[in-house]
Amino acid sequence: MLFQLKSYLKFLWHSKNEHAVHSPFVFSLLTKCFYDKKLKPEYAVLRKYRNTLLANSNSIEVTDFGAGSKVFKSNTRVVAKIARTAGISTKRAELLFRITRYLQPETILEIGTSLGLATSALALGNFKAKITTVEGCPNTMALAKSQFQAFHFDNVNPIVAEFSNYLSDFKPSNFDFKLIYFDGNHSKKATLDYFEALLPTITNDTLWIFDDIHWSPEMEEAWEIIQNHPKVTVTIDTFQWGLIFFRREQPKQHFIIRT
C-alpha cells in the first residue's frame, strides 16, 4: 500500500492534461474520448450490469493463477465483494467504453474476464466487434457467461483457459486484434510473456491496455521495459492503466495523463 501511495504521488507530480500534449493524435484522443463528459445511455447498462453483481450474495470458489489478491485472504469469495473490490471501477469502465466507441476496434481480446465488468464496457463500445475474453477460473467465467447472456452480449466469445496455455496454443498469423485489454496475472514475467506472445498480431492501428501498471515494483519494471520496446511508439500512463500504440508514423513519446 505504501509503495502504491508513493507511486501515485510521483504520478501526480509528473502528470499533465491535454494542454501539455503536442501530439495531434493523442490530443484528439484526450479531448474527444478521455475527457468527454457527456452522459451516455450505455452508462445505465454498465450500472445495471454492476448492480446485479453487487446484489449477488452467493459465494464461489475462485481459482487464482495470478499474482494473488491484496484484498481476499481466501479463495472462497462473495460475488458482491469481488464486484466491489476486484472489478474495474465505474469510472474506468466508462472510460473503457469511450475508448472502444472512439476507436471502433473490430477485434478485441481480453486477458482476464473476472465477472465481466470490463467485458461489458468493451461489448457496449462496439456491438459489431468480435470479442474474445479469456478467464482461468471456471466458476468465475460461469457467472460472467450468465451475465453476458442476460445482457445479450452476443458478440462475446468466453474461453476458460489458463492464460499461458491459451497463448501457447496461439497462432498469431490467424489473429489481428485491434484492441487487447490485459487484466490477468499482475507479475512482471507473465506480463512480459503476454507482450512477447502477442506482439506478432500488432498492426499500425493496434491499442493495448495494461491494467495495474503501478501495482508493484515489478509491474513498474515490466511497464518500463514495454515502453522502451522498439516497436512501441506512443505510451500513455494514467496510473491505473498503461496504453501503448504501435503507430509507425509517430515519434516515440511517453505521456503521463490525469484522467
Which residue stretches of the chain have pLDDT < 50? Answer: 68, 70-71
Answer yes or no: are the C-beta atoms of 79 and 117 closer than 8 Å.
Answer: no
pTM (predicted TM-score) = 0.93
Residue 66's SS3 state is coil
Question: Three-state secondary structure along 140-178?
Answer: HHHHHHHHHHHCCCCCEEEEECCHHHHHHCCCHHHCCCC
**Domain region containing 7:** 2-52+87-256
Q: 164 in a domain, yes or no?
A: yes
Q: Which residues make Cβ contacts (< 8 Å) with residue 47, sequence separation at least 6?
A: 90
CA distance 189 to 239: 20
| Per-residue pLDDT tens over the stretch 20-38 | 788 899 999 999 999 999 9
CA distance 60 to 78: 6
Domain of 237, CATH number, reads 3.40.50.150
pLDDT of residue 2: 82
Q: 80 in a domain, yes or no?
A: no
Q: 78 in a domain, yes or no?
A: no
| Per-residue pLDDT tens over the stretch 118-175 | 999 999 999 999 999 999 999 999 999 999 999 999 999 999 999 888 888 766 656 6
What is each CA distance from 54 to 86, 107, 123, 220, in whole angstroms?
A: 12, 29, 20, 31
pLDDT of residue 165: 86
pLDDT of residue 72: 52
Name beta bridge partners: 257.
Answer: 16
E strand or H helix that includes residue 131:
strand 130-135
pLDDT of residue 65: 64
Q: 73 in a domain, yes or no?
A: no
Q: 238 in a domain, yes or no?
A: yes
- The residue type at 64: D
Q: 159 in a domain, yes or no?
A: yes
Q: How many domains, the chain? A: 1
Q: What is the longest distance spanned by two Cα atoms in the chain? A: 51
Residue 62 burial (CB count, 10 A): 19
pLDDT of residue 125: 98
Q: 144 in a domain, yes or no?
A: yes
Q: 81 in a domain, yes or no?
A: no
Q: Which residues make Cβ contacts (< 8 Å) with residue 119, sequence separation at least 6?
A: 110, 113, 131, 133, 144, 148, 153, 156
pLDDT of residue 15: 84
Residue 161 C-alpha cell reads as 483457459
Among the listed residues 228, 231, 226, the one whose alpha carbon sits nearest the alpha carbon of residue 200: 231
**Secondary structure percentages of the chain, helix, strand, coil, to 5:** 45, 20, 35
